Amino acid sequence: MATEKRRKVVFLTGTRADFGKLKPLMLALHQDNAFEVHIFVTGMHMLSKYGYTCLEVERAGFGNIYKYINQNSSDSMDHILSKTISGFSDFVKEIAPDFIIVHGDRVEALAGAIVGSLNNILTGHVEGGEVSGTIDELIRHAVTKLSHIHFVANDTAGARLTQLGESRETIHVIGSPDVDIMTSPSLPTIAEVQHYYDLAFSEYALLIFHPVTSEIEDLYRQIRVVVDDVLESELNYIVIFPNNDPGTDIILEEYNRLKDHPNFKIFPSMRFEYFLTLLKHSRVIVGNSSAAIREAPHFGVPAVNVGSRQHRRVNCNLVINVPAERGQIVRALGIAEKMPRESISIFGDGNSALRFRDIVVSTEFWKHKTQKHFVDRFSG
């Protein structure tokens, strides 16, 4: 009896964050003999400035890892997009995958979806249908239109995809895959994390602030406000570098004010599971990272969300939204201290990888066509 062909599946990862979310899905297929998993590692992973996090992908125990440098410090986002398309296109032509999986709203995901759609390769998008306040939202929706299959975090995100004309048969609500890791008993203990990163703080807050690409002209003022306020708060802070969007050097220059301060410990990057443990045990998370909106509430950790980057992302009682104005963060930190730490689960129950695998192993799944048609929800 002939053995059924193993399906080749390529995961594209460009950042520490998207690898953390894709990892449970990678493992689900990697452990199934029906699939041959390949990982295309690019973007921030390949930059020493941000911790050269491609090492974390390699340490996860996967085979078939291909590393590709898609940028240098002078590249704009459109240039990075074009270089990623070129490199990824050559890669998929060489290995001929059956399925490409991208995540979120970075230019690397857009490049992956472009290559998949233009080469008639079935392409899946993880965590589409969400909103935010920057160029990220435009990229996320563009990736949706270029992808054939959608693995969304909740029903609200799925409903937005139908507004974009996507067929309901292509939308699968699996939850956010990082919740699988957040609920896993294998997370490191806080003592292990403190030892690994040489942290002496018994209590601390987290600070992650990314540039808003549509507000570059105001970024220096915004990050100066953030740094002024966190200094005034007199809390201990673990600070993680921003992503590499335009404007990141403005933020890093301002972080020089914190370098030798005893209340601050600054890291270019952090292992995803270790970051989750730190988040779980933090007093509060400050900044404009999606971690403050998505992961922190699951742990019952209050968040002070600064500025417009997560505009309309989600409504949650644990999230305090403030403008980047002097004194607003300090005021919000006082409110956050009094909040009850009750877990709020908005993005799944920790079974995303299992749902994902059950969908992908089905015979019906592989009958999806790469020719898409807009589904018009309006009549007349």
CB of 253 closer than 8 Å to CB of 168: no
Across 46-60, 252-266, 315-329, 336-350, least confident range = 336-350
Tell me which residue has tokens 């403050």.
292
Among 143-152, 175-184, 250-259, 279-288, name the one with the lowest average pLDDT.
Answer: 175-184
How far, in Å, CA of 267 to CA of 71, rounded? 21
**Are the beta carbons of 292 and 265 closer than 8 angstroms?**
no
Question: Does the pLDDT of residue 2 top 80, yes or no?
Answer: no
Instruction: Please compute the mean of the pLDDT values over residues 42-51 and round it to a whole number.
Output: 95
The three state secondary structure string of 331-367 is: HHHHHHHCCCCCCCCCCCCCCHHHHHHHHHCCCHHHH
% of the chain beyond a pLDDT of 70: 98
| CATH of segment(s) 7-183+349-367 | 3.40.50.2000
Q: How confident is the model at residue 134 (pLDDT cuts 50, 70, 90)?
A: confident
**Tokens for 6?**
């193993």
Residues 287-291 have a mean pLDDT of 94
Provide the sign of the torsion angle of the four alpha carbons 12, 296, 329, 189, taken in this order.
negative
The residue ranking higher by pLDDT, 310 or 115, is 115
> Can you read off the two tokens belonging to residue 238?
């673990």
Same fold, 7-183+349-367 and 190-337: yes
Across the chain, mean pLDDT equals: 94
Alpha-carbon torsion, ordered 330, 332, 335, 337, to 10 deg? -60
Q: Can you tell me which residue has the tokens 């990736």? A: 143
Round to whole Å and give the CA distance between 57 and 15: 10
- Nearest C-alpha neighbor of 30 from the set 56, 57, 53, 3: 57
Q: Which of 142, 125, 135 has its CA nearest to residue 18?
A: 125
Q: How many CB atoms lie within 10 A of CB 44?
A: 28
Tens digit of pLDDT for each residue in 59-98? 999 999 999 999 998 899 999 999 999 999 999 999 999 9
CA distance 45 to 264: 25
Q: Count the alpha carbons within 13 Å of 278 in the hemisphere toward its beta carbon.
A: 31
Whether 296 and 285 have beta carbons less than 8 Å apart is answered as yes
Chain position carrying tokens 């990314």:
210
pLDDT at 339: 93
User: Looking at residue 214, what is its pLDDT?
Assistant: 87
- 3-state secondary structure at position 376: coil
Band of residue 307 on the pLDDT scale cut at 50, 70, 90: very high
Closest CA to 113 of 134, 92, 133, 130: 92
Cβ burial of 341 (10 Å; 0-12, 13-18, 19+) is: exposed
Q: What is the reported pTM?
A: 0.91
Q: What is the CA radius of gyration of the chain?
A: 21
Inter-residue contact 164 to 150 (CB < 8 Å) = no
Q: Give 250-282 pLDDT, tens digit per residue.
A: 999 999 999 999 999 999 999 999 999 999 999
Helix, strand, coil abundance in the chain, percent, nearest 5: 45, 15, 40
Fold of 190-337: Rossmann fold (3.40.50)
- Please state the domain extents for the chain: 7-183+349-367, 190-337
In the predicted model, is pLDDT for residue 380 greater than 50? no
Phi, psi for 101 (deg, rounded to 5): -125, 125
pLDDT at residue 379 tops 70: no
Residue 189's Cβ-count burial label (10 Å; 0-12, 13-18, 19+) is: exposed
Position 1 scores a pLDDT of 40
Q: Write the pLDDT tens digit of every residue in 346-377.
A: 888 889 999 999 999 999 999 999 999 999 98
Tell me if 137 sits within 8 A of 214, measured CB to CB: no
